[in-house]
Amino acid sequence: MPVQYYIYLALILFSIGVIGVLTRRNAIIVFMCIELMLNATNLLLVAFSQMHQNIAYAANKASSAGIEGQLFVFFIMVVAAAEVSVGLAIIVMLYRNTRSVDINFLNRLKN
């Protein structure tokens, strides 16, 4: 499979996430679009790691070239899990204070 197919797929997925962040007002859906963007980058990292493996695989079938990409994906998942727990706590706090999860209410933070 040529690598550009996966690049374009991840790009479109990332752009859908960007459009969701820009157009929706519900804080939880904005948060889900951020998860969408994280997953697009994860997919691209795995694809690139297999691309590096492809070059080394011809010479040595047990080569570990490109394994760093998959470890990066693992660490991104770790950070995403921590981020979600704190972010959802912030959203619950926002709802408790304003009775709404509309992100436009957050502009009172500037005062």
CB of 8 to another protein, least distance (A): 7
**Binding track, positions 28-67, relative to another protein; x by CB under 8 A:** xx-xxx-xx--x--xx--xx-xxx-xx--x---xx-xxxx
Q: By CB under 8 A, is residue 107 in contact with another protein?
A: no
Distance (Å) of CA 45 to CA 51, 66, 73, 83: 10, 10, 7, 20
Distance (Å) of CA 16 to CA 27, 46, 74: 16, 20, 23
CB of 34 to another protein, least distance (A): 11
Q: By CB under 8 A, is residue 79 in contact with another protein?
A: yes
Q: By CB under 8 A, is residue 13 in contact with another protein?
A: yes
∠78-41-85 over CA atoms, to 5°? 30
Q: How many residues bind another protein (CB under 8 A)?
A: 73
Dist. CA 71–CA 63, nearest whole Å: 16
Q: By CB under 8 A, is residue 82 in contact with another protein?
A: yes
